[in-house]
A and B are shown apart, each in its own frame.
Chain A
Amino acid sequence: MSRTTNTSGTQWPARSMVLLLLSLATAGASAFYTIHFNPEVRFLAAAWHQKSMALKSGVSELPETGRPSPPSRVLFCGGSSVLVGIHPPSVEAELGVPVINLGMAAGMGPDVLTQLALNEVRRGDVLIISLEPDLLTMEQTRSMLGSQISWATGNPSWLGRNSPADWGVSLSHLRPGAYHLWTLAGKVLMRKPLYRYDPSELKDGGWQEIAARGDDPGIPVFDFSLTDQGRDLLSRVRRVCDERGAKAVYLLSRHFCPPARESVHREGISRFIQDVNAILDVVGPQTQRYSMDRGKFADTPWHPVPDEARRGSGRTGAELRLLFREWHNRE
């Protein structure tokens, strides 16, 4: 094991250097694969491209003076419950202002999801925070997917970190990981599609018209109280929006709840919303935020089928209209 190379009188640990170079080369190849070929990253990068187009076309700057009412734009921020569940044209039909769906994937982590939205917030906007409750009620670690999408879309600023160590950590996330490798191998062997969603499902305004279906959407899992992390995040969102002359509100995404869990679920939501409401206004009556009708959901409890997404978005638009009127009256 201790073979060394003698070059001009200096001994070098040849094998260690080979192992180091091999590791670096593997890391480089992993990063290249992750950014350009990883099916999940490719899909989400395409989703972001769609949203960027919507952001460019939906810009209508307000004059520097004057009260921003009604809002100039409505931005929805969250994970895939927003990506799949918020159909911008249906909300726009109710509000009459540009609506942009900035939903991506909950796996990117709450910090990255909110930062990408905050980067776009301007004076007069209303930012609807619709993060899935588990992102705010359960301890969150740094997300590999968040780093991967940030780099793949050329937006490392979403990571919101500046120290060299932070950059090192986020770059080290550009790897596939065991889950991806094993499941990819399984899909290749079983000749299944490499990813369950297809970029062709992405529509204008940043909405995904989901095609996948599952036999059992599962149950939404989250705790009932905000974590300190969650509380800090919502407070920061509020502060940044206040500074920019925008408004932030929370909206619980529509989701599936099995009938057997309804009473526990209702109680949990009520406590969760109470916590959130101490920091942000909350949109609409919470009892209408879940459904026990399995047929309305696609492959997870947070993904409504397209028709349900359109209907639900229309209802959300109407709730927002009421909220905006209330704000207007208050002001």
Chain B
Amino acid sequence: MNFAEIRFWMALGAGLLAVAVIRFAVRLPGIRSQQAESSPERHASRQLDQWLLFGLGLGLLFFVGWLTAAVFLYVALVTYGGTRILLAGRLPAGPGMAMLILLQISPLVFFKYGNFVGNEVLQLGMNSLVVASIPVGISFYTFQCMSFSWDTLRGRRESLRPMPGLLHFLNYAGFFPQIVAGPIERRTSLLPQMENFRFQFSAASVERGTRWVVIGLFFKLCLGDNLSLYSMPGQVTESAWTVWMQNLLFGLRIYFDFAGYSLCALGVGHWFGISLSINFLSPYTSRNITDFWRRWHVTLSQWFRDYVYLPLGGNKWTAGVVPLLIVFLVSGVWHGAGWNFILWGLIHGLMVLAHRTAGAIRLNGTIGWALTMAGVFLAWLFFYQTDTAVLFSNLGTIISPPAYGPDMLRELVSSYASGDKVVLAGLLLMTGVVLLLELAGHRRHGDPYFYFGLFPVQMVMCVLTVLMAPGAQNNFIYFAF
């Protein structure tokens, strides 16, 4: 679901047209009548809508690629069938759950980690483990399906436990706006909405959704995609300024790219009458690293807290040190198959631990923010630099005082053509304004997107997006995760 591509919107439009035609052709009796919600006609009409939603989502997945759709169907059906069998008590709970998790993550392990584990860790030299591309969204829907099984089988409240119908579950697991890059939803929030789903036009929902889609497209197309044209890591450099510039550009790009996607998903969800979770709460205005992780990829952080940190004992085991490090290691691995991602996770784990340990020290807000951002943007080097030789060389550059000399600064400046300098300065100015607006919204209204929702600001964003979006199609970065 590449919201940045015209093709997606055309495919969605065609899909919705097909839905409208089918609804019109079937014209279930009573569909427009004033019959009670519980009447069989109403039930049949709602069920038709839910099948159509499933068909629309699956069709859009096939539009991405048949493998993407096939792997999704496998994970969803294994989750549903396995959870049902375990819930009926036909298998012992512990080993049954382990087997189910294994089956759920097997495509993820094969497609995402097979090459890394087989050829880089175990040095097997197996070409069959090299896959051309990872099915889009596999990490997201796999985690969403795992959370469903866990909540259903281990749910403390009885109300969580009953199995939903297969159709409702498939719509929960495969709601198209969020299937490929989140937010990762829980059954408590999304499943009830799917059970009551109907295609119905609501002006208020459209207005709510448009607000988010406009912000999301502005973030992605106007800021993220333009920054990506200047974010070209991969070279060994002796200038620390160059490394920091690449870290800055990558960090800003990935934020506007991923937050842009999440906000579009939120908006499209509203158009369909479905409320999704907010995934980003202005993380780059955080004053400490713990706060950063409460605001960056919120639904993934919560997933790790609930399904890794707490089951490992949380604060009760080693005062939370080991569970926390495990969480960040797993988070690193989740983001990608490579040593650099593992190191990235470890660094963030150590930074959070350091913040916990030094929690008693009260820092001035600005100093806290500066330290947090220095850590976060330094760590991005480990995220984007997949070549470990280049990674360590540039890391050496960053900690070498001569690499900060005026010559090195000149090297950075001269690496951009004069036109590029103007454009880069303009883009950084725009991102600065955006981050300040987020900060002001967060502080004054508790909503980082408050000012972006104001109608005049929305109009400006629409104009800027149309004028400035680069023509090159850039996939969302998180599609690869």
A interface residues with partner B (beta carbon < 8 Å): 1-5, 11-13, 15-16, 18-19, 22-23, 26-27, 30, 141-144, 147, 164-165, 168-169, 172-173, 175-179, 181-183, 185-186
Contact, CB under 8 Å: B467 / A143: no
Q: Which of B7, B211, B226, B467 has the most CB of A within 10 A?
A: B467
Among B29-37, B315-323, B403-411, B454-462, the one that faces the other chain is: B454-462
Which of B6, B426, B462 is the one whose CB lies under 8 Å from A169?
A: B6
Quick one: which of B194-210 are within 8 Å of A by CB? 202-204, 206-208, 210
Known contacts A12-B203, A19-B214, A183-B422; decide if A1 and B208 are in contact (CB<8 Å). yes
Which of B207, B426, B463, B466 is the one whose CB lies under 8 Å from A1?
A: B207
Determine chain B's interface SS by DSSP, over half rule. Answer: helix
Contact, CB under 8 Å: A19 / B210: yes
Considering the chains assembled together, what is the distance between the CA atoms of A168 and B463 in angstroms?
19
Q: Mark B213-231, 1 if CB is under 8 A from A, else 0.
A: 0100000001000100100
Which of A141, A175, A181, A183 is the one whose CB lies under 8 Å from B473?
A: A141
Known contacts A13-B207, A175-B466; decide if A19 and B459 are in contact (CB<8 Å). yes
Contact, CB under 8 Å: A183 / B467: no
Considering the chains assembled together, what is the distance between the CA atoms of A176 and B203 in angstroms?
33
Contact, CB under 8 Å: B204 / A2: yes
Considering the chains assembled together, what is the distance between the CA atoms of A4 and B210 in angstroms?
12
Q: Does B59 contact A (CB under 8 A)?
A: no
Q: Please, which residues of chain A bring their CB within 8 A of the CB of B96?
A: none
Which of A5, A164, A178 is the one whose CB lies under 8 Å from B470?
A: A178
Known contacts A1-B207, A165-B7, A182-B426; decide if A30 and B458 are in contact (CB<8 Å). no
Considering the chains assembled together, what is the distance between the CA atoms of A23 and B458 in angstroms?
11
Considering the chains assembled together, what is the distance between the CA atoms of A181 and B468 in angstroms?
7
B206 to chain A, nearest CB (A): 4
Q: Mark B266-308, 1 if CB is under 8 A from A, else 0.
A: 0000000000000000000000000000000000000000000
Report, nearest first, the 9 A-B pairs whose CB atoms are least far apart. Answer: A144-B471, A13-B206, A11-B203, A16-B210, A4-B203, A178-B468, A182-B426, A26-B466, A2-B207
Q: Does B469 contact A (CB under 8 A)?
A: yes
Contact, CB under 8 Å: B210 / A15: yes
- Residue ID in chain A nearest B420 by CB atoms: A179
Q: Please, which residues of chain B bring their CB within 8 A of the CB of A172?
A: 6, 471
Known contacts A1-B207, A141-B473, A179-B423; decide if A26 and B6 are in contact (CB<8 Å). no
Q: Please, which residues of chain B bring their CB within 8 A of the CB of A16?
A: 206-207, 210
Determine chain A's interface SS by DSSP, over half rule. Answer: helix
Q: Please, which residues of chain A bring their CB within 8 A of the CB of B95?
A: none
Contact, CB under 8 Å: A179 / B6: no
Known contacts A141-B473, A186-B422; decide if A4 and B207 are in contact (CB<8 Å). yes
Q: Please, which residues of chain B bring their CB within 8 A of the CB of A2?
A: 204, 207-208
Quick one: which of B397-440 are within 8 Å of A by CB? 419-420, 422-423, 426-427
Q: Does B472 contact A (CB under 8 A)?
A: yes
Q: Please, which residues of chain A bring their CB within 8 A of the CB of B466?
A: 23, 26-27, 30, 175
Considering the chains assembled together, what is the distance between the CA atoms of A58 and B422 in angstroms?
44
Considering the chains assembled together, what is the distance between the CA atoms of A177 and B225 in angstroms?
11
Which of B6, B206, B207, B210 is the one whose CB lies under 8 Å from A168?
A: B6
A140 to chain B, nearest CB (A): 10
Contact, CB under 8 Å: A182 / B462: no
Considering the chains assembled together, what is the distance between the CA atoms of A172 and B8 in angstroms?
14
The 21 listed contacts between A and B (C-beta, < 8 Å) are: A1-B207, A11-B203, A13-B203, A15-B455, A16-B207, A18-B459, A23-B463, A26-B463, A142-B471, A143-B471, A164-B10, A165-B6, A168-B10, A172-B6, A172-B471, A175-B471, A178-B226, A179-B423, A181-B468, A182-B423, A183-B419
Q: Which of A16, A176, A181 has the most CB of B within 10 A?
A: A16
Known contacts A1-B211, A4-B207; decide if A19 and B458 are in contact (CB<8 Å). yes
Q: Which of A13, A22, A178, A185 has the most CB of B within 10 A?
A: A178
Q: Please, which residues of chain B bring their CB within 8 A of the CB of A168?
A: 6-7, 10
Q: Please, which residues of chain B bring their CB within 8 A of the CB of A5?
A: 203
Q: Which of A1, A26, A185 has the most CB of B within 10 A?
A: A1
Q: Does B15 contact A (CB under 8 A)?
A: no
Q: Does B441 contact A (CB under 8 A)?
A: no
Q: Does B453 contact A (CB under 8 A)?
A: yes
A32 to chain B, nearest CB (A): 13
